[in-house]
Structure 1
Amino acid sequence: MSATSPALGSTHDPALRSAIGKATKHLLPMLVILYFVAFLDRTNVGFAEEALSVDRNISDAAFALGAGIFFIGYAIFEIPSNLLLKRFGARFWLARIAVTWGIVAALFSFTTNDTMFIVLRFLLGVTEAGLFPGVIMYLSEWFPNKVRVRMFAIFYLAQPFSQMIGAPLSGGLISVGDQVTPFHGWQVMFFGEGILAVLAGVAALFFLTNSPQQAKWLDDRQKASLTAAMAREDHARNEDGPKGIWKAMASGRVWYFTIIYFCLQVAVYGTTFYLPQQVSSLLGQDVGWQVGLVAAIPWLVGLVACYLVGSKADTVGRRRRWGAMFYVTTGLSILGSAWAGANGQPILGILFITLAVASFLAVGPITWAYPTAFLTGAAAAAGIGLINSLGNLGGFVAPIMRTAINEVVPTDSGAFGIVSLGVLAFVAAVMIFCTKFFGGAKADELLDTSHVATTRPRGAAERAEDPHAAATRSTKETNA
């Protein structure tokens, strides 16, 4: 009997597994750092609100407009940035994004009036645009569908890390600035965290690699195996998804997932914007270090949930069932936190908030697995950019919607405003569950059949299997 070996690029191929392991080690830490610093520079303005009012006479109206206009600049330039990333390569373009947003972030330390503050917030959105969808597209070109949710989940860990570490870092820089420098503490915070982004961008030039073929840390067999696996999936996505920029932007499936992501972002930003105040109200204490410690608990639990769920969501059935379940849990938890606040139940309130944060962090990577299963090339750049840009407007809508509902139905706890944020999570749950009626994307069919490895005589192991043939031979199984 002749010896056999796994097909090149199959999940049983040791070269593919080792290539994925090396890519994870070489790429993910840098991507997490970029996203971590982006969150710092996006949210640190909250620490300077009072000081900017006192030192620079920044009005409340200007601050509110500046907080929201970030998302407008972000949305407008998201798709162009993604298309330019496709043209210039992820290594250069992600580094460019970090360096330019870092410079703008540092310029906040020189803010003198309302107009300058608003303009800089808009420019911060413009320069940061493209980071998140660019990384999502980048990861979808490096990692096969079966492990992609796990990679998205590792990338997502930057969110809870930034919430847990960012607050004491920003507060510490303000304290140091006030005590040991001739500048205002808020100036030191803006400048220091802006320069941190510039340094991260420079580092990205050294640590990121555009494609497996250019990776010096992969041997020839690993490059061939990873390239074969990705080529097979690209062929399936080319057959199944829209082709070209305009067809992607007009695709019903792209808009379908844009609505889902918008619902998610309303829940995410509606919770995170008001988390310290909600915890403060539940505990009956002013916002301070005790409230900060309690507010960190949901993010710690969410960090664990995000990674564990992401590492196990490796079949179509699990992604659909778990996605619907975690959207429902997000909605129920937000409703529960509103009930607890209205009925004076602080412990239950903290528990419900923790469940909400853990659920929406766990479901985010699962949600992104769907569009990356049928989008590739220029269509991926446009489609992923569209989903993220319009979906992120949920961050603009959430506080407005919550405030409007509370004005229409006023209560001491603001419960109805909180409830409004959770309702859209149920809409997303139904939509994720209904993907079972899509008929199945071909790339998702490869996901469910990729555990069946083709074997060949060992003498042919070095010859790469034709990706088109591999795709057509993949046995179609019914989704779990």
Structure 2
Amino acid sequence: MVFLPRSNFSESQETEWRVYNKIAMRLLPFLLILYVISFLDRVNVGFAKLQMSVDIGLGDAAFGFGAGVFFLGYCVCEIPSNLALQRFGAKIWIARIMVVWGLVSAGLMFVTSETQFYVLRFLLGISEAGFYPGIILFLTYWFPARLRSQICAIFFLGIAFSGVIGGPLSGWIMQTFSGAYGLHGWQWLFLLEGIPAVVGGVISFFYLEDGPAKAKWLDASERALVVDALVAEEAGKRAAGYGHRFIDALRDANVWLLAITNFSLLGGTYGLSFWLPQIVKDLGVNNLLFNGLLTAIPFTCASIAMIVVGKHSDRHGERKWHTAICAFVGAGGLVLSGLFGFNPYISLFGLSVAVSGALAGLAVMWALPGTILGGAAAAAGIALMATIGNLGGYTMPFILGWVKQLTHQVEFGLYAMAAMMVIGGLVMLVIPKLNQSRRAEPTFAPVVSR
């Protein structure tokens, strides 16, 4: 399988093309599976709500708070977790994260009150903290900056695939297992979707390597090619005056601005992911399996958009406008869905545009922090961006739930998310270091065959 197109490499870079595709083939399918598991455990609560609201007396505002409180725990531990990954190595730390979060996720099957729901969602956030930014950091250990938009797009397919797979799967589990052994369908959902994380964590320990220098599945010349390229890239960043220390990330205004864009895009993604089953139900779809199939449509569209936009961004070596335009398109989709909430077909089309814009923008944006930071600064900067971005994952589901309970309509919540995505796109356009980095890093630009 070819993950990276031949057109991204010159005719003299045949060896590089083969080596990086070999690495991508080894890492990306496995990491993609892990991210699907991760995202399922974050958003399956949206499907569980369709039944557990009645069973434990969970209102819309309470659900929105509980769904979002996950991100408070996540954000508290995100930066320490990424620094720990850099210190202890990816294979140990990613395995630790997955085993613990799988156990906590499965434990949600035992909740009987709002308070227990809040506590376990908060603990789930703490348990999973560092996985998402940790993988982003881990990928910078293997791939040069000029290839990372496509690499991130492939990894972020995990969000889209979890929507494609997770919707029908969650609906099927809840409908099929409801009442089995005295358990409700939502209890089976948490149990059956929590176990794979534990299994994935154990496999990660034996399958992953901390970096190319330790990869026994690469021969000596392949290891040297990859390591030398990354060392040269780090030297280029140092020569250009880019931050390398932990404190450099915290002092860099560009990182904070990128974090705001991440907040808007990730907030929109999670807001839709948590509430999409309910939105589809409000459109008149009550069958759980059919609901799951319909919620897969926006994520199917997004998976195509991410690959197309990521490839185009890498080919042209441009990130700023690609991300901003995706944010604006996503906002337009949210507005369209809200305006035509009375028409399920147009509304679902709008949601598909919104999810596609948000996820494609995220894939391109996450190619940036590794190009302006290195070393501990990269670990801290990526974690800082993820921390602030995941606060959007708390804010947007809560706003949607609060607005829906207050007005009995979800449209105003969609408009609020659209406004945030527009702000994120505008912020992306004013980040000063992006133009500087393109001028200062000619060796990082993509090479296109003629």
Both proteins in one fold, TM over 0.5: yes
> Helix, strand or coil: the match of 1:209?
coil
Do the aligned partners of 2:169 and 2:292 also contact (CA within 8 Å) in 1?
no
Tell me the amino acid that sits aligned with residue 326 of structure 1: C
Counterpart Cα distance in 1 of 2:80 and 2:258: 20
Cα distance, 1:199 vs structure 2: 0.3
The 1:434/1:11 distance shift into structure 2, 3 A limit, reads: farther
Tell me the residue number matched to 1:415. 411
Map Cα deviations across residues 293-313 of structure 1 (whole Å, 9 max, x no partner). 333211111111112222232
Tell me the residue number matched to 1:139. 139
> Helix, strand or coil: the match of 1:222?
helix
1:162-177 equivalences under 5 Å are 162-177=162-177
The 1:333/1:178 distance shift into structure 2, 3 A limit, reads: closer
Counterpart Cα distance in 2 of 1:429 and 1:60: 30
Q: Give the stretch that moved more between structures: 363-372 or 169-178.
A: 169-178
Do the aligned partners of 1:18 and 1:222 also contact (CA within 8 Å) in 2?
no
Tell me the amino acid that sits aligned with residue 272 of structure 1: S
Q: Say how many residue pairs are matched.
A: 440
Counterpart Cα distance in 2 of 1:111 and 1:439: 50
Tell me the residue number matched to 2:93. 93
Tell me the residue number matched to 2:379. 381
Tell me the residue number matched to 1:464. none
Tell me the amino acid that sits aligned with residue 414 of structure 2: I
The 1:214/1:126 distance shift into structure 2, 3 A limit, reads: same
Cα distance, 1:317 vs structure 2: 4.9
Tell me the amino acid that sits aligned with residue 434 of structure 1: V
> Helix, strand or coil: the match of 1:210?
coil
Query: Which of 345, 348, 357 is the aligned partner of 2:346?
Result: 348
Do the aligned partners of 2:254 and 2:432 also contact (CA within 8 Å) in 1?
no
Tell me the residue number matched to 1:429. 425
Map Cα deviations across residues 5-49 of structure 1 (whole Å, 9 max, x no partner). xxxx99833332222111111111111111111112112223333
Do the aligned partners of 2:171 and 2:292 also contact (CA within 8 Å) in 1?
no
**Which has the larger Rg?**
1
Do the aligned partners of 1:315 and 1:448 also contact (CA within 8 Å) in 2?
no
1:11-30 equivalences under 5 Å are 12-30=12-30
Tell me the residue number matched to 2:102. 102
Tell me the amino acid that sits aligned with residue 349 of structure 1: S
Tell me the amino acid that sits aligned with residue 98 of structure 1: M
Counterpart Cα distance in 2 of 1:309 and 1:110: 42
Tell me the amino acid that sits aligned with residue 154 of structure 1: I
Map Cα deviations across residues 162-183 of structure 1 (whole Å, 9 max, x no partner). 1121133233333454355354
Tell me the residue number matched to 1:396. 394
Map Cα deviations across residues 113-167 of structure 1 (whole Å, 9 max, x no partner). 4443322211110010000000001111111112111110111111111112113
Ranges in structure 1 where 5+ consecutive residues have no aligned partner? 1-8, 453-480
Tell me the residue number matched to 2:274. 273
The 1:104/1:435 distance shift into structure 2, 3 A limit, reads: same
The two structures have a TM-score, normalised by structure 1, of 0.83
Counterpart Cα distance in 2 of 1:121 and 1:395: 13
Cα distance, 1:61 vs structure 2: 6.8
Cα distance, 1:418 vs structure 2: 1.9
The 1:406/1:178 distance shift into structure 2, 3 A limit, reads: closer
Tell me the residue number matched to 1:261. 262
Counterpart Cα distance in 2 of 1:429 and 1:59: 33
Tell me the amino acid that sits aligned with residue 256 of structure 1: L
Q: Give the stretch that moved more between structures: 307-316 or 385-394.
A: 307-316
Tell me the residue number matched to 2:4. none
Tell me the amino acid that sits aligned with residue 130 of structure 1: G
* RMSD of aligned residue pairs (Cα, Å): 2.8
Counterpart check, 1:367 vs 2:365 = yes
The 1:105/1:347 distance shift into structure 2, 3 A limit, reads: closer
Counterpart Cα distance in 1 of 2:432 and 2:377: 23
The 1:277/1:407 distance shift into structure 2, 3 A limit, reads: closer
Counterpart Cα distance in 1 of 2:378 and 2:94: 16
The 1:86/1:242 distance shift into structure 2, 3 A limit, reads: same
Ranges in structure 2 where 5+ consecutive residues have no aligned partner? 1-8
The 1:369/1:92 distance shift into structure 2, 3 A limit, reads: same
> Helix, strand or coil: the match of 2:218?
coil
Tell me the residue number matched to 1:249. 250
Map Cα deviations across residues 170-213 of structure 1 (whole Å, 9 max, x no partner). 33333454355354443333222222110011111222111111
Cα distance, 1:399 vs structure 2: 3.4
Q: Give the stretch that moved more between structures: 253-262 or 418-427.
A: 418-427
Q: Give the stretch that moved more between structures: 130-139 or 293-302.
A: 293-302
The 1:330/1:198 distance shift into structure 2, 3 A limit, reads: same
1:72-471 equivalences under 5 Å are 72-178=72-178, 180-239=180-239, 240-281=241-282, 283-286=283-286, 288-315=288-315, 317-341=317-341, 344-402=342-400, 414-435=410-431, 438-441=434-437, 444-448=441-445
Do the aligned partners of 1:298 and 1:358 also contact (CA within 8 Å) in 2?
yes
Cα distance, 1:51 vs structure 2: 4.8
The two structures have a TM-score, normalised by structure 2, of 0.88
> Helix, strand or coil: the match of 1:218?
coil
Counterpart Cα distance in 1 of 2:181 and 2:208: 36
Q: Give the stretch that moved more between structures: 180-189 or 247-256.
A: 180-189
Do the aligned partners of 2:170 and 2:189 also contact (CA within 8 Å) in 1?
yes
Identity %: 38
Cα distance, 1:334 vs structure 2: 1.5
Counterpart Cα distance in 2 of 1:238 and 1:47: 48
1:32-111 equivalences under 5 Å are 32-49=32-49, 51-52=51-52, 63-111=63-111
> Helix, strand or coil: the match of 2:161?
helix
Tell me the amino acid that sits aligned with residue 359 of structure 2: L
Map Cα deviations across residues 233-280 of structure 1 (whole Å, 9 max, x no partner). 111233432232122122111111111111112322333333233344
Tell me the amino acid that sits aligned with residue 356 of structure 2: A
Do the aligned partners of 2:171 and 2:289 also contact (CA within 8 Å) in 1?
no
The 1:292/1:183 distance shift into structure 2, 3 A limit, reads: closer
> Helix, strand or coil: the match of 1:34?
helix
Cα distance, 1:346 vs structure 2: 3.6
Counterpart Cα distance in 1 of 2:68 and 2:373: 30
Tell me the amino acid that sits aligned with residue 37 of structure 1: I
